[in-house]
């Protein structure tokens, strides 16, 4: 039996079928695959892993004794979306897979520090001011979507001084 890849009738070579993987990697197919995946994620995540149930704003219990309204305003501007019960959930936070990421940030953020449930967990003032001074907080990905949350050096110092006076 012949093992030749030539077509037995015409004698011309049969073009090799590109592998599924290689054809997915073509730009046009890549776009189609991405759209299909996105659609699939919406369909699957909606009933199964919808984040809507997690995107709550529980009733605020108690806030720190803010030294000045300006201190609170700075904290609201750059921290409250993840560290309070007054999260503003933007439209894209409803759309998977971003919803998973954003919801996770808020849950983790509130667990560490929740300005709306002040006194519930022991939070070290130094830890909070350090997070601002080092630039670790607010997080880089958050600033990408919320440029208004970015603090100038002067505002950072104002927030640090205000937090030191308020969080006891
Ligand atoms: C995008 C959401 C988000 C914003 C906005 C944000 N944080 Fe956080 N923050 C987090 C998450 C998530 C953690 C938990 C990170 C971890 O466990 O490593 C955290 C942790 C912390 C901690 C715990 C110590 C540490 O460094 O991990 C402090 C203190 C803190 N944030 C302060 C702040 C302050 C102050 C602001 C505002 C200037 C702020 N954060 C803004 C999400 C946020």
- Residue 43 in domain: yes
- Indicate if 106 and 162 belong to the same structural domain: yes
- Indicate if 83 and 130 belong to the same structural domain: yes
- At residue 1, the pLDDT reads 45
Domains held by the chain: number: 2
- Residue 92 in domain: yes
163 Cα nearest atom in ligand 1? 35
- Residue 9 in domain: no
Average pLDDT across each block of 10 residues of the chain; the chain has 168 residues. List them in order: 51 72 85 90 72 74 94 98 94 86 93 91 90 97 96 98 93
Residues of the domain holding 86:
69-166
Residue 125: which of 90, 160, 95 has the closest Cα? 160
- The pTM score is 0.80
37 near 129, Cβ under 8 Å? no
Q: Which of 71, 73, 78, 82 to mutate to test the pocket of ligand 1 (most atoms within 8 A of CB)?
A: 82
Please report the beta strands in the chain, taking only residues with DSSP state E, as ranges in sequence order.
Answer: none
């Amino acid at each position: 039996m012949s093992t030749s890849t030539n077509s037995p009738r015409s004698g011309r070579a049969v073009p090799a079928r590109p592998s599924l993987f290689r054809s997915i990697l073509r730009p046009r197919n890549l776009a189609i695959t991405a759209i299909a995946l996105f659609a699939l994620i919406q369909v699957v995540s909606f009933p199964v892993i919808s984040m809507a149930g997690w995107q709550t704003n529980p009733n605020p219990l108690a806030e720190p004794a803010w030294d000045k309204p300006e201190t609170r305003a700075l904290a609201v501007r750059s921290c409250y979306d993840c560290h309070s019960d007054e999260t503003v959930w933007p439209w894209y936070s409803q759309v998977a897979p971003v919803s998973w990421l954003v919801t996770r940030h808020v849950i983790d953020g509130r667990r560490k520090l929740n300005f709306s449930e002040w006194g519930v967990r022991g939070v070290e003032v130094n830890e909070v001011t350090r997070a601002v001074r080092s630039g670790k907080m607010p997080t880089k990905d958050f600033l990408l979507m919320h440029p208004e949350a970015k603090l100038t050096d002067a505002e950072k110092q104002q927030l640090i001084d205000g937090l030191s006076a308020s969080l006891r």
